[in-house]
Amino acid sequence: MHSTAVATSLTCALLPFQGILGALESNHCLQWRKQERRCSQKARRTLVAAQFELKPPPYSLNALEPHMSHEIIEYHWGKHQRGYVENLNRQILGSELDGMALGDIILVSYNKGDLLPAFNNAAQIWNHEFFWESMKPGGGGKPSGDLLELIERDFGSFEGLVREFKLAASTQFGSGWAWLAYKANRLDVGNAINPCPSEEDKKLVVVKSPNAVNPLVWDYSPLLTVDVWEHAYYLDYENRRADYISVFMEKLVSWEIVSYRLEMAKARANEREEERKREEEEENMSDIEAVEMYLDSETDESETE
Amino acid sequence: MALRTLITRKTLGLGLQSEARNLGFGFRHARELQTFSLPDLPYDYSALEPVISGEIMQLHHQKHHQAYITNYNKALEQLEEAMAKGDSSTVVKLQSAIKFNGGGHINHSVFWKNLSPIHEGGGEPPKGSLGWAIDTNFGSLEALVKNINTEGAALQGSGWVWLGLDKEMKKLVVETTANQDPLVTKGANLVPLLGIDVWEHAYYLQYKNVRPDYLKNIWKVLNWKYASEVYEKECP
């Protein structure tokens, strides 16, 4: 299943990148935690449960001042995100989701849009970890290298991307998120796979999503996100969401991490293509073998007779 | 529905602007199109303190509600143009903006009337036929409050929690709606008696992430008189 491939590739790709970058990739920590199982402190002694933890942002809570206040991060991370973690742990304890990696819980509980109870908490944990890691003190500026090239190809210019991202973020009605994502050969229809993939289909796209939904459920690779739930900006910007988004783009985005995520996404897409080619070859081989077997048995029969 | 009745009545009078504004509703004619303006609150911004801060009330009314009205008017103007040209794509494309912003205007217009300062009767439990209907439908007022608070706290993202009247079945219901969907999207016969805004902008500056505290406290300023009036009109 794609979800497992995604989770595994993220881990494998990251092992050589232990340092700061390794720590930044949320799934890596969660996979590791899955192996390092901890006993639940609740009643059942025989039950061993993997518990998700409240992972801190990769900077101190006041490091994004004055663009994002210490106070708002204290509430946003310390209360909202903590709530999602505690609620998810409670929800999955003893269930079939217990022990699964976060990415897998998200995909299973998304349930093709008919959300199961664990989805909101699981996805929001993932989204928030991804969000904190999308920012850095002294962020902003412009991307470079491969990322800038793809941006210019798919949005015309960096300014074009900024415009589209801001538009998505400000028109996501109600609660939700805006994303820059890498869409590797995915068609615009559900989980359909492009039968004739080409380089042009591996595109950068800007998408928006409501509440807890994220592009993992469409099998895209998220590269950047901004939280547009009101709790993400209200204490700092009140109703002025547009100001918050501008400041996010100009002062907070870590284009380094976006570039890194793009490299991972491209590697993952190539790996998947290789795997599919291998599977196709194996299928062809077994077809040929089946035909040969059929011919052989015919010959045998005639011989015995 | 109350809103439509009030606007229809206004067309009969001259000096529409000032008369309408005094009664909390205003509109101007742009050709045939009726557009909307921000209704006045029937109390000061700080009148609901300490339950809801003056800061929240001012932002909520002057920024959020106003923005819904501005965008609703814009969408209506664009819709009128598209309809005149027979531009079906645009007509259909505008539906979500109309639902969001029109819904926002409808819902908030009801909400301001759902609240009342304590010294003007805010928080006083319902008497008469509505009180009796609540006991019949929910067992007690306490049970209803608990029901609404549970639903309101559990709502994911943004939305509203309602006490509604099914005017066909003459039954009271508790419903939630997402984003700015009006209660009528949950049932064509549903009339809102009370709505509680659980968008974060309705409480965050004061209650932060603790939505249950906001819900617990808002009953102190809930205007049951208005709810009773609406109920008695539909169930005389």
Q: Is B25 within a domain?
A: no
Q: Per mean pLDDT, which range of A12-16, A254-258, B124-128 is the poorest? A: A12-16
Q: Is B17 within a domain?
A: no
Residue A161 has pLDDT above 70, yes or no: yes
Q: How is chain A split into domains, by residue range?
A: 70-263
Residue A177 has pLDDT above 80, yes or no: yes
pLDDT of A187:
61
pLDDT band at A300 (very low <50, low <70, confident <90, very high): low
Residue B78 has pLDDT above 70, yes or no: yes
Q: How far is B81 from B63, CA to CA, in rounded Å?
A: 27
Residue B35 · residue B79 · CB < 8 Å: no
CATH classification of the domain holding B65: 1.10.287.990
Q: Is B178 on the interface with A (CB under 8 A)?
A: yes
Give the DSSP per-residue string, B155-221: --SSEEEEEEEETTTTEEEEEEEETT--GGGG-TTEEEEEEEE-SGGGTHHHHTT-HHHHHHHHGGG
Residue A140 has pLDDT above 90, yes or no: yes
Task: Report ipTM (2 d.p.).
Answer: 0.86
More confident: A71 or A20: A71
Identify whether residues B202 and B145 lie together within a single domain.
yes
Residue of B nearest to A228 (CA): B157
More confident: A186 or B166: B166
Q: Which of B59, B179, B205 sits opposite A174 (nearest CB)?
A: B179
Residue A186 has pLDDT above 80, yes or no: no
Residues of chain A above pLDDT 70, percent? 74
Identify whether residues B167 and B224 lie together within a single domain.
yes
Identify whether residues B112 and B125 lie together within a single domain.
no
Q: Is B179 on the interface with A (CB under 8 A)?
A: yes
Identify whether residues B139 and B93 lie together within a single domain.
no
Give the DSSP per-residue string, chain B: -HHHHHHHHHTTSSSHHHHHHHTT-B--EETTEE--BPPPPSS-GGGGTTTS-HHHHHHIIIIIIHHHHHHHHHHHHHHHHHHHHT-HHHHHHTHHHHHHHHHHHHHHHHHHHHB--GGGTTTPPP-HHHHHHHHHHHSSHHHHHHHHHHHHHH--SSEEEEEEEETTTTEEEEEEEETT--GGGG-TTEEEEEEEE-SGGGTHHHHTT-HHHHHHHHGGGB-HHHHHHHHHHH--
Identify whether residues B215 and B155 lie together within a single domain.
yes
Residue B101 has pLDDT above 80, yes or no: yes
Neighbours of B209 (CB within 10 A): 17
Q: Tell me which chain A residues have a C-beta less than 8 angstroms from the C-beta of B100.
A: 173
Q: Is B119 annotated as a binding residue?
A: no
Identify whether residues B68 and B136 lie together within a single domain.
no
Domain A70-263 has CATH 3.40.50.2030: no
Contact state of A79 with B209 under an 8 Å Cβ cutoff: yes
pLDDT band at A280 (very low <50, low <70, confident <90, very high): confident
Using one digit for the tens of pLDDT, what is the confidence trace for B131-175? 999 999 999 999 999 999 999 999 999 999 999 999 999 999 999
Using one digit for the tens of pLDDT, what is the confidence trace for A55-87? 999 999 999 999 999 999 999 999 999 999 999
Residue of B nearest to A119 (CA): B156
pLDDT of A190:
54
Using one digit for the tens of pLDDT, what is the confidence trace for A92-130? 999 999 999 999 999 999 999 999 999 999 999 999 999
Q: Is A78 on the interface with B (CB under 8 A)?
A: no
Identify whether residues B133 and B208 lie together within a single domain.
yes
Identify whether residues B126 and B227 lie together within a single domain.
yes
Q: Is A117 on the interface with B (CB under 8 A)?
A: no
Q: Is B125 within a domain?
A: yes
Range of the domain at B127: 120-234
Q: Per mean pLDDT, which range of A2-16, B52-66, B148-162 is the poorest? A: A2-16
Residue A11 has pLDDT above 60, yes or no: no
Q: Tell me which chain A residues have a C-beta less than 8 angstroms from the C-beta of B179.
A: 173-174
Using one digit for the tens of pLDDT, what is the confidence trace for B7-44? 444 433 334 444 444 444 555 544 578 999 999 999 99
Query: Number of structural domains, chain B?
Result: 2
Residue A12 has pLDDT above 70, yes or no: no
Q: Is A221 exposed, middle or buried (0-12, 13-18, 19+ CB in 10 A)?
A: buried
Identify whether residues B148 and B202 lie together within a single domain.
yes
pLDDT of A289:
76
Q: Per mean pLDDT, which range of A228-232, A237-241, A278-282, B146-150 is the poorest? A: A278-282
Using one digit for the tens of pLDDT, what is the confidence trace for A24-62? 444 444 444 444 444 444 444 555 566 899 999 999 999
pLDDT band at A16 (very low <50, low <70, confident <90, very high): very low
Q: What average pLDDT does the segment B189-204 reach?
A: 98
More confident: A218 or A28: A218
Residues of chain B above pLDDT 70, percent? 87
Q: Is A71 on the interface with B (CB under 8 A)?
A: no
Q: Is A82 on the interface with B (CB under 8 A)?
A: no
Q: Is B39 within a domain?
A: no
Q: Tell me which chain B residues have a C-beta less than 8 angstroms from the C-beta of A80.
A: 209
Q: How far is A163 from A113, CA to CA, in rounded Å?
A: 29
Which of B183, B182, B190 lies closest to B166, judged by CA?
A: B190
Q: What are phi and psi of A146, to 5 degrees?
A: -55, -40
Which of B156, B133, B126, B87 lies closest to B223, judged by CA?
A: B126
Identify whether residues B224 and B127 lie together within a single domain.
yes
CATH classification of the domain holding B199: 3.55.40.20
Residue B126: asked if its preceding bond is cis (omega within 30°), the reply is no
